[in-house]
């Protein structure tokens, strides 16, 4: 983002980035949590044990709040393609519009039709249909993720398109577009990362209840399910999905890989920097501590493999914010490694039967809640900053994509509006979810009191 | 092919308007038809579980429009920049007010979110009305197919127009009135008790008010765009729309008189369908009429994506639409019946 502050492209990028990062805090929990709901509902069906139904009821309330903020912050994303990125829409709308429309019509229709049934239809639907509602919502949320990732994958690695006589893009092969190899790998990486978020949130609430000595049965359920899924997901997000993702970047966007790794000079036996600060002006990594040969091995399979450096590419092909790209990627990897260690230790303690009594571990699990959100955000920053200076890699420059008729002042105005609105929503969401957590899974809503007898008391209708 | 896609996106917009229009209407009337806190929860509960299902039709419409008419999205969304963000923010506030209002049973809390609910719905009804007025009147499209509009200029309908002028404001007043009437009709169907009785009274008054307003905007439309009205007389789809309006009005009046509330509500829906069909058919094929020079106007043919993209979209669109109908059947069976002031009929709202 080297544009000046009066540059409309800068503010449009800032606004899209801000609204997207904020929006994605919600879908990642929805996609991660949805399968916990399906699992518990299924266990309730099989065993008839009421504790599973209690868990579904509790988490469905949090899911509902999360879903509402996800829906309302998601709609601006679609509109901004037209409002702020008109030139891009004119050029590529015939391609990316397809998957955006399919997301709306296949995924959102499914999800929004059944989410109400999931949250408060338990009695009216009966257990079997309530289970199906949970499955429908989970499928809807993952389908929506797939269509968005196909759209993004086209921007990372355009395939299956043709150029029509007017110079804009149309779809050449629908199957090539929908089954873009980039999309398949990115989808698996991203969805498992969402499961990491879901697992850490479930684990964290479980740890909180154990430390508080509240709801012991539910707390144990959340801790067990959360750490089990958490360990598997943390492993899968690194290997094979994260590994494949990095290899794919190395194959199709070598300059991006060089920038992510802070590799200013190419060569064989390339190391992975454990610590180091990129100094772009001097074109070197300051204070580096490297693991020799590791990058060559990770990217190309041999310790001696040649890894391209930024020096092999003209500077105008470099991603335009190497520092943030480098830190995003490295912090994501660091966090991912910590997740594996933490969850492995938690499972080990669980196997020894000491998970609920290891206070230090419970504290760490409880406080770990924000970190998968941070890791997911950093992953998306790596993907999107790494794609620069292209809007569609190799086809269309970011600076060519914004709306020429919209002034920087207009964009700044709407950006300020979003920041204000979203700040308030953040507080509201935390307050309401915090309140649900404080009321806890054993709290039964008193829905049967009529207002004539005084109405349901505080919290009764939550 | 392009005409068919024009019909399809119009259909999706019409479905959005009849579905979400009832929520705008209920929101505008909220303070009038529901007087006590309990009654206000009843109104919210009558629309509560379905608002997100209604709102996603706007998302489906927007996505489809981007896929088949990308040049329209590019010009119109950038041109209407500030107005569109006002709509987005109102939609955000409306959704949040419905969802969080019921979470805490406290008068101050619910009173505040009721205010947000009323405010955002009023704004939405008026803004969508202004948008319709702008589509009918035209916008200052230049030779490159771009435009950028102030909120208002000199309130005239020619040349360098603004978003608001006497014509678009009239359309907005008409739109707000008819959506309020539609919302009142819906609440008559979905509620019982005092709220029901007030809604049924409001519905009668509001529908009666739409008649003179409709005549007024018809005359205004004739003066602003006599070319469109002149062409519409020879367009069979416009006559079909008018026919639908007449039948629907009859059905609605008969429904109200015989207390068949479902019939009245169906009539109300089809009045909107008829109106929008007539309007959509009348302006076809022009999607963005230029008030500067008619030759700058953007038509469905110049706005469409390449042939190949349009053909491929035909592969999935009917499947998705058929699935949506299936969900619709599920939902309408699921949420059948009236909502009362008793909390156990209201779910979590």
Q: A175 at the B interface (CB within 8 A)? A: no
Task: Answer yes or no: do A455 and B105 touch at CB < 8 A.
Answer: yes
Tell me, what's the pLDDT at B177? 95
3-state SS class at B251: helix
Give the closest-approach CA distance of A132 to chain B in angstroms. 13
Q: What percentage of chain A reaches a pLDDT higher than 70?
A: 95
pLDDT per position as a tens digit, A132-190:
999 999 999 999 999 999 999 999 999 999 998 888 898 988 899 999 999 999 999 99
**CA-CA distance, A338 to A189, in Å (whole number)?**
17
For residue A452, pLDDT beyond 50: no
Residues of chain B found within 8 Å of residue A67, distances taken between Cβ atoms: 52
Give the closest-approach CA distance of B269 to chain A in angstroms. 20
Query: Which of A112, A162, A450 has its CB closest to that of B342?
Result: A450
**CA-CA distance, A258 to A278, in Å (whole number)?**
12
Output B16 or A125, whichever has higher pLDDT: B16
Q: Which two tokens stand for residue B125?
A: 């009804």
Q: Which two tokens stand for residue A216?
A: 């012991």
Which residues face A169 on adjacent strands? A163
Calculate the dihedral angle through the C-alpha atoms of B96, B99, B104, B110, rounding to the nearest 10 degrees: 60
- What is the Cα B26 distance to its own chain's centre? 13
Question: CB of A15 within 8 A of CB of A85?
Answer: no
Helices then strands, counting H and E runs in chain B, come out as: 13, 2
Which residues 121-140 in chain B show a CB within 8 A of chain A? none
Give the closest-approach CA distance of B176 to chain A in angstroms. 23
Q: Is B215 exposed, middle or buried (0-12, 13-18, 19+ CB in 10 A)?
A: exposed
Residues of chain B found within 8 Å of residue A456, distances taken between Cβ atoms: 105, 343
pLDDT per position as a tens digit, B28-46:
999 999 888 888 888 888 8
- Residue A223 pLDDT class (50, 70, 90 cuts): very high
**CA-CA distance, A271 to A307, in Å (whole number)?**
9
Question: DSSP labels for B81-100?
Answer: HHHHHHHHHHHHHHHHHHHH
Half-sphere exposure of A263 (CA within 13 A, CB side): 28
pLDDT per position as a tens digit, A346-378:
999 999 999 999 999 999 999 999 999 999 999
Nearest chain A residue to B321, by CA: A105
Tell me, what's the pLDDT at B317? 92
Q: What are the φ/ψ torsions at residue A451 (nearest 5 degrees)?
A: -60, -25
Query: Which of B53, B55, B66 has its CB closest to that of A93?
Result: B66
Tell me, what's the pLDDT at A263? 87
Residues 6+ positions from A426 with CB-CB distance below 8 Å: A22
Which residue is listed with tokens 């008193």? A446
Half-sphere exposure of B259 (CA within 13 A, CB side): 2
Task: Answer yes or no: do B327 and A414 touch at CB < 8 A.
Answer: no
**CA-CA distance, A220 to A234, in Å (whole number)?**
20
Residue B114: CB atoms within 10 Å: 22
Question: DSSP labels for A87-131?
Answer: HHHHHHHHHHHHHHHHIIIIIIHHHHHHHHHHHH-HHHHHHHHHH
Half-sphere exposure of A210 (CA within 13 A, CB side): 25
Distances (CA, A) of B342 to A314, B42, B348: 70, 8, 12
**CA-CA distance, A9 to A408, in Å (whole number)?**
8
Alpha helix segments (H runs only) across A157-268: 174-178, 181-212, 216-236, 243-252, 254-260
Q: Is A129 exposed, middle or buried (0-12, 13-18, 19+ CB in 10 A)?
A: middle
Distances (CA, A) of A214 to A62, A209, A388, A438, B200: 18, 5, 49, 10, 50
**CA-CA distance, A28 to A194, in Å (whole number)?**
5
Tell me, what's the pLDDT at B287? 87
CA proximity to A411, closest of A22, A70, A72, A85? A85
Question: B44, B47, B63: which to substitute to probe chain A, counting the most A Cβ within 10 Å?
Answer: B63
Tell me, what's the pLDDT at A54? 93
Task: Answer yes or no: do B312 and A174 touch at CB < 8 A.
Answer: yes
**CA-CA distance, A250 to A269, in Å (whole number)?**
15
Question: A18, A60, A83: which to substitute to probe chain B, counting the most B Cβ within 10 Å?
Answer: A83
Q: A424 at the B interface (CB within 8 A)? A: no
Domain holding B174, by residue range, is 2-345
Tell me, what's the pLDDT at A454? 33
**CA-CA distance, A231 to A229, in Å (whole number)?**
6
Residues of chain B found within 8 Å of residue A72, distances taken between Cβ atoms: 91-92, 95-96
- What is the Cα A17 distance to its own chain's centre? 13
Q: A427 at the B interface (CB within 8 A)? A: no
E-strand stretches of chain B: 286-288, 298-299
**CA-CA distance, A96 to A51, in Å (whole number)?**
44
CA angle in degrees (0–180, nearest 5) for B146-B148-B149: 140
Q: A237: cis peptide before it, omega within 30°?
A: no
Instruction: Label the pairing between strands A169-171 and A390-392.
Output: unpaired
Task: Answer yes or no: do A104 and B60 touch at CB < 8 A.
Answer: yes
Query: Which of B62, B79, B347 has its CB closest to that of A78?
Result: B62
Q: B341 at the A interface (CB within 8 A)? A: yes
| Alpha-carbon dihedral sign for residues B270, B272, B275, B276 | negative
Question: A66, A89, A94, A426: which to substitute to probe chain B, counting the most B Cβ within 10 Å?
Answer: A94
Domain extent listing, chain A: 12-250+328-440
Which residue is listed with tokens 């966090």? A335
Task: Answer yes or no: do A93 and B70 touch at CB < 8 A.
Answer: yes
3-state SS class at A274: strand
Average pLDDT, chain A: 89
Distances (CA, A) of B183 to A218, A444, B316: 43, 33, 33
Query: How many folded domains does chain B comprise?
Result: 1
- Residue A235 pLDDT class (50, 70, 90 cuts): very high
Query: Which of B60, B81, B306 has its CB closest to that of A105?
Result: B60
**CATH classification at residue B239:** 1.20.1630.10
For residue A447, pLDDT beyond 50: no
Tell me, what's the pLDDT at B30? 92
CA proximity to A24, closest of A372, A286, A325, A291? A372
Question: Mean pLDDT over residues A33-51, rounded?
Answer: 94
Question: A26, A115, A116: which to substitute to probe chain B, counting the most B Cβ within 10 Å?
Answer: A116
Residues of chain A found within 8 Å of residue B308, distances taken between Cβ atoms: 162, 164, 170-172
Question: Mean pLDDT over residues A213-226, rounded?
Answer: 94
Task: Answer yes or no: do A449 and B343 touch at CB < 8 A.
Answer: yes
Question: CB of A306 within 8 A of CB of A258?
Answer: no
pLDDT per position as a tens digit, A392-407:
999 999 988 888 888 8
Query: Which of A82, A410, A413 has its CB closest to that of B73?
Result: A82
Instruction: Label the pairing between strands A272-279 and A169-171.
Output: unpaired
Question: CB of A58 within 8 A of CB of A136?
Answer: no
Question: B49, B72, B81: which to substitute to probe chain A, counting the most A Cβ within 10 Å?
Answer: B81
Tell me, what's the pLDDT at A240? 92
Query: Which portions of chain B are predicted below pLDDT 50?
Result: none
- Residue A462 pLDDT class (50, 70, 90 cuts): very low
Q: Which two tokens stand for residue B59?
A: 């998302």
Question: DSSP labels for A407-439?
Answer: -HHHHHHHHHHHHHHHHHHHHHHHHHHHHHHHH
CA angle in degrees (0–180, nearest 5) for A348-A350-A354: 105
Task: Answer yes or no: do B56 and A112 touch at CB < 8 A.
Answer: yes
């Amino acid at each position: 983002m080297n544009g000046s502050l009066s540059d409309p492209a800068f503010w449009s990028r800032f606004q899209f980035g801000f609204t997207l990062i904020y929006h994605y805090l919600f879908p990642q929990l929805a996609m991660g949590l949805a399968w916990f709901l399906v699992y518990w509902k299924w266990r309730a069906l099989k065993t008839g044990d009421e504790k599973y139904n209690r868990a579904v009821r509790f988490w469905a309330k949090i899911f509902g709040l999360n879903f509402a903020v996800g829906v309302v912050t998601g709609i601006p994303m679609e509109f901004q393609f037209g409002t702020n990125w008109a030139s891009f829409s004119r050029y590529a709308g015939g391609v990316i519009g397809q998957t955006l429309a399919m997301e709306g019509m296949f995924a959102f229709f499914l999800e929004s039709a059944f989410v109400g049934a999931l949250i408060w239809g338990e009695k009216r639907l009966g257990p079997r249909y309530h289970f199906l509602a949970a499955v429908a919502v989970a499928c809807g949320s993952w389908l929506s993720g797939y269509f968005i990732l196909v759209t993004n994958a086209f921007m990372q690695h355009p395939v299956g398109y043709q150029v029509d006589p007017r110079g804009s893009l149309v779809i050449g092969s629908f199957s090539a577009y929908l089954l873009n190899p980039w999309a398949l790998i990115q989808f698996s990486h991203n969805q498992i990362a969402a499961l990491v978020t879901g697992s850490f949130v479930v684990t964290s609430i479980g740890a909180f209840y154990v430390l508080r000595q509240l709801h012991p049965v539910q707390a144990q359920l959340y801790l067990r399910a959360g750490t089990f899924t958490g360990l598997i997901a943390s492993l899968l997000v690194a290997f094979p999905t994260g590994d494949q993702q990095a290899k794919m970047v190395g194959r199709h966007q070598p300059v991006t890989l060089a920038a992510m790794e802070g590799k200013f000079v190419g060569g064989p036996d390339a190391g992975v920097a454990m610590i180091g600060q990129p100094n772009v002006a001097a074109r070197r990594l300051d204070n580096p501590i490297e693991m020799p040969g590791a990058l060559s091995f990770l990217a190309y399979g041999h310790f001696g493999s040649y890894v391209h450096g930024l020096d092999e590419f003209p500077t105008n092909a470099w991603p335009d914010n190497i520092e943030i790209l480098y830190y995003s990627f490295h912090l994501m990897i660091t966090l991912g490694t910590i997740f594996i260690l933490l969850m492995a230790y938690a499972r080990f303690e669980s196997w020894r039967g000491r998970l609920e009594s290891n206070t230090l571990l419970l504290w760490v699990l409880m406080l770990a809640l924000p970190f998968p959100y941070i890791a997911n955000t950093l992953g998306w920053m790596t993907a999107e900053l790494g794609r620069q200076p292209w809007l569609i890699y190799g086809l269309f420059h970011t600076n060519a994509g914004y709306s020429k008729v919209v002034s920087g002042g207009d964009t700044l105005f709407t950006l300020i509006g979003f920041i204000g609105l979203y700040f308030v929503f953040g507080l509201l969401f935390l307050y309401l979810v915090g309140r649900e957590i404080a009321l806890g899974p054993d709290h039964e809503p008193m829905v049967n009191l009529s207002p004539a007898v005084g109405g349901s008391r505080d919290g009764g209708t939550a | 092919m392009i005409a068919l896609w024009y019909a399809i996106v119009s259909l999706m917009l019409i479905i959005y308007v009849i579905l979400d229009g009832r929520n705008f209407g209920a929101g505008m009337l909220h303070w009038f038809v529901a007087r006590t806190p309990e009654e206000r929860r009843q109104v919210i509960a009558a629309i509560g579980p379905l608002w997100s299902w209604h709102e996603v039709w706007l998302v489906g419409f927007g996505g489809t429009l981007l896929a088949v008419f990308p040049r329209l999205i590019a010009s119109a969304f950038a041109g209407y920049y500030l107005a569109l963000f006002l709509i987005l923010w109102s939609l955000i506030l409306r959704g949040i007010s419905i969802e969080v209002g019921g979470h805490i049973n406290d008068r101050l809390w619910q009173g505040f979110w009721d205010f947000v609910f009323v405010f955002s719905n009023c704004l939405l009804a008026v803004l969508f009305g202004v948008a319709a007025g702008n589509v009918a009147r035209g916008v200052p499209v230049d030779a490159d197919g771009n435009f950028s509009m102030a909120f208002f200029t000199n309130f005239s309908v020619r040349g360098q127009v603004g978003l608001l002028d006497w014509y678009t404001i009239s359309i907005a007043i008409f739109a707000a009135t008819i959506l309020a009437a539609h919302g009142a009709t819906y609440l008559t169907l979905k509620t019982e008790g005092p709220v029901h009785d007030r809604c049924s009274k409001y519905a009668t008054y509001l529908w009666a008010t739409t008649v003179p307003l409709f005549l007024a905007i018809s005359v205004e439309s004739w003066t602003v765009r006599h070319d469109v009205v002149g062409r519409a007389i020879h367009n069979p789809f416009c006559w079909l729309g008018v026919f639908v309006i007449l039948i629907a009005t009859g059905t609605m009046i008969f429904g109200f008189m015989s207390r068949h509330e479902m019939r009245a509500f169906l009539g109300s829906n089809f009045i909107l369908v008829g109106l929008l069909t007539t309007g959509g058919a009348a302006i076809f094929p022009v999607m963005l009429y230029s008030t500067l020079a008619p030759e700058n106007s953007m038509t469905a043919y110049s706005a469409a994506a390449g042939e190949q993209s349009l053909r491929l979209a035909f592969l999935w669109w009917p499947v998705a639409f058929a699935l949506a109908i299936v969900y619709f059947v599920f939902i309408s069976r699921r949420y059948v019946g009236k909502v009362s002031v008793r909390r156990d009929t209201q779910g979590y709202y």
